[in-house]
Amino acid sequence: MTHWTPALVEERLAEAALILRRLPDPRRRGYFSTWPEIVHSFADKVGQEPKQMRVLPSPQAISRMEETLTWTGCLEPIDGKIVWMKAHGERWKEICYAVGLQRAAAHQHWAYGLSVIALTLNRQPVNRQLSKRKLIRLARGA
């Protein structure tokens, strides 16, 4: 059994965001093309950038991602949004603009969200009456 820390939670959320990006795009049902597939000749391909190959994630990685997607259910909506935006690699400037907070406040919400998730995964009680700073210290020291 793993003892969860905010750093481990952050790594797992970043992995889940990466796996979400690697999944194939969803297709709409009912829409299809009756046109034949276009076959490009060598002359058509000269000068074009090579198409990057998309590596699909393993079933174990998808299972870990699905488990990770449920973790933000115990957070306030703003904390969950900040945690997921940071996991997707967004810069603090975009995060602050999206949630309407200063950088220090957004960083504190992010650290608080990771700490709440870590404490919840460790099956420790989360006292919502504690200040954000005390709960973050509790999760890091626990």
Task: Report the C-alpha gap between 48 and 125 in whole angstroms.
Answer: 57
pLDDT tens per residue across span 64-86: 999 999 998 889 999 999 999 99
Q: Is residue 14 part of a domain?
A: yes
Q: Is residue 100 part of a domain?
A: yes
The answer to whether residue 142 scores a pLDDT higher than 70 is no
Region at 35 (left for phi over 0; alpha for psi -120 to 50; beta for the rest): beta
Task: Collapse the DSSP code of 49 into the 3-class scheme (helix H, G, I; strand E, B; otherwise coil) and give the result.
Answer: coil
Task: Collapse the DSSP code of 36 into the 3-class scheme (helix H, G, I; strand E, B; otherwise coil) and give the result.
Answer: coil
Q: Is residue 54 part of a domain?
A: no
Q: How many domains does the chain have?
A: 1
Residue 108: alpha-carbon gap to chain centroid: 18
Domain hosting residue 126, numbered range? 6-21+59-141
Contact assessment for residue 98 and residue 81, using Cβ atoms and an 8 Å cutoff = yes
pLDDT tens per residue across span 18-62: 999 888 877 777 777 788 888 888 888 888 887 777 788 899 999
- pTM of the entire predicted model: 0.79
Q: Where are the alpha helices (DSSP H) in the chain?
A: 6-22, 42-45, 59-69, 77-87, 92-99, 103-121, 132-141
